[in-house]
Amino acid sequence: MSLALAPLDLNVETEANLPCRKFDPDLWFSDSPTDLDVAKSLCGDCPLRVECLAGAVERAEPWGVWGGEIFERGAVVPRKRPRGRPRKEDLARDAALRVEAEARLAANGLATSRSAVRLAA
Protein backbone atom coordinates (compact mmCIF):
# COMPACT_ATOMS: atom_id res chain seq x y z
CA MET A 1 0.00 0.00 0.00
CA SER A 2 1.23 3.49 -0.84
CA LEU A 3 1.98 5.72 2.15
CA ALA A 4 0.29 8.67 0.43
CA LEU A 5 -2.91 6.66 0.21
CA ALA A 6 -2.86 5.50 3.82
CA PRO A 7 -6.33 5.52 5.35
CA LEU A 8 -7.16 8.69 7.22
CA ASP A 9 -8.58 8.73 10.71
CA LEU A 10 -12.24 9.44 10.05
CA ASN A 11 -12.62 10.89 13.55
CA VAL A 12 -10.52 13.89 12.47
CA GLU A 13 -12.46 16.81 11.06
CA THR A 14 -10.40 17.36 7.95
CA GLU A 15 -11.05 21.07 7.53
CA ALA A 16 -11.44 22.18 11.15
CA ASN A 17 -8.17 22.22 13.06
CA LEU A 18 -5.52 21.96 10.39
CA PRO A 19 -2.93 24.73 10.77
CA CYS A 20 -2.50 25.01 7.00
CA ARG A 21 -6.23 25.85 6.79
CA LYS A 22 -6.31 28.28 9.74
CA PHE A 23 -3.24 30.39 8.86
CA ASP A 24 -2.07 32.14 5.71
CA PRO A 25 -1.15 29.41 3.18
CA ASP A 26 1.75 31.53 1.88
CA LEU A 27 3.52 30.86 5.18
CA TRP A 28 4.14 27.24 4.07
CA PHE A 29 5.72 28.40 0.80
CA SER A 30 7.65 31.44 1.98
CA ASP A 31 11.17 32.39 0.87
CA SER A 32 11.99 33.43 4.43
CA PRO A 33 13.75 30.79 6.58
CA THR A 34 12.06 32.26 9.66
CA ASP A 35 8.57 31.91 8.16
CA LEU A 36 9.30 28.32 7.19
CA ASP A 37 10.43 27.54 10.74
CA VAL A 38 7.13 28.97 12.01
CA ALA A 39 5.20 26.79 9.53
CA LYS A 40 7.17 23.71 10.65
CA SER A 41 6.31 24.42 14.28
CA LEU A 42 2.61 24.83 13.44
CA CYS A 43 2.62 21.39 11.80
CA GLY A 44 3.76 19.77 15.05
CA ASP A 45 0.28 19.18 16.48
CA CYS A 46 -1.52 18.55 13.19
CA PRO A 47 -3.54 15.31 13.21
CA LEU A 48 -2.67 14.68 9.54
CA ARG A 49 1.06 15.44 9.79
CA VAL A 50 2.26 11.90 9.02
CA GLU A 51 -0.09 11.47 6.04
CA CYS A 52 0.89 14.90 4.70
CA LEU A 53 4.59 14.08 4.99
CA ALA A 54 4.16 10.66 3.39
CA GLY A 55 2.31 12.17 0.45
CA ALA A 56 4.94 14.87 -0.03
CA VAL A 57 7.76 12.30 0.05
CA GLU A 58 5.97 10.13 -2.49
CA ARG A 59 5.27 13.09 -4.80
CA ALA A 60 8.77 14.57 -4.26
CA GLU A 61 7.21 17.98 -3.61
CA PRO A 62 9.38 20.66 -5.19
CA TRP A 63 9.18 23.14 -2.31
CA GLY A 64 7.32 24.20 0.83
CA VAL A 65 6.60 22.80 4.25
CA TRP A 66 4.81 19.45 4.22
CA GLY A 67 4.16 17.36 7.33
CA GLY A 68 6.51 19.49 9.40
CA GLU A 69 9.50 19.13 7.05
CA ILE A 70 10.92 21.61 4.55
CA PHE A 71 11.15 20.43 0.95
CA GLU A 72 13.41 22.10 -1.58
CA ARG A 73 13.79 20.76 -5.13
CA GLY A 74 12.08 17.52 -4.13
CA ALA A 75 14.39 16.84 -1.18
CA VAL A 76 13.92 17.20 2.57
CA VAL A 77 16.18 19.92 3.97
CA PRO A 78 16.76 20.51 7.68
CA ARG A 79 16.38 24.27 7.25
CA LYS A 80 16.23 26.77 4.46
CA ARG A 81 19.46 28.69 4.18
CA PRO A 82 19.39 32.41 3.62
CA ARG A 83 20.95 33.83 0.46
CA GLY A 84 24.71 34.08 0.22
CA ARG A 85 27.64 31.90 1.12
CA PRO A 86 27.10 29.87 4.31
CA ARG A 87 29.37 30.36 7.30
CA LYS A 88 31.44 27.42 8.52
CA GLU A 89 29.41 27.12 11.73
CA ASP A 90 26.22 27.05 9.65
CA LEU A 91 27.57 24.12 7.64
CA ALA A 92 28.30 22.19 10.85
CA ARG A 93 24.82 22.98 12.20
CA ASP A 94 23.24 21.88 8.91
CA ALA A 95 25.02 18.52 9.15
CA ALA A 96 23.59 17.97 12.64
CA LEU A 97 20.11 19.07 11.51
CA ARG A 98 20.29 16.71 8.52
CA VAL A 99 20.82 13.79 10.92
CA GLU A 100 17.79 14.93 12.96
CA ALA A 101 15.65 15.15 9.80
CA GLU A 102 16.67 11.61 8.81
CA ALA A 103 15.73 10.39 12.30
CA ARG A 104 12.29 12.05 12.11
CA LEU A 105 11.62 10.49 8.72
CA ALA A 106 12.72 7.08 9.96
CA ALA A 107 10.55 7.46 13.08
CA ASN A 108 7.55 7.96 10.81
CA GLY A 109 8.47 4.90 8.77
CA LEU A 110 9.22 6.97 5.69
CA ALA A 111 12.90 6.30 5.16
CA THR A 112 15.36 3.69 6.29
CA SER A 113 18.18 4.80 4.02
CA ARG A 114 19.27 7.79 1.98
CA SER A 115 18.03 6.05 -1.15
CA ALA A 116 14.44 5.99 0.10
CA VAL A 117 14.18 9.78 0.49
CA ARG A 118 16.69 12.14 -0.97
CA LEU A 119 17.98 14.54 1.66
CA ALA A 120 19.66 17.65 0.36
CA ALA A 121 23.33 17.96 1.21
- Pair type for strands 75-77 and 69-72: antiparallel
46 labelled as ligand-binding? yes
Distance CA 96, CA 89 (A): 11
7 labelled as ligand-binding? no
Q: What is the dihedral of CA 34, 77, 62, 3, to 10 degrees?
A: -120
Which H/E stretch holds residue 107? helix 88-107
- Numbered residues of the known binding site: 20, 43, 46, 52
- Numbered residues of the known binding site for [4Fe-4S] cluster: 20, 43, 46, 52
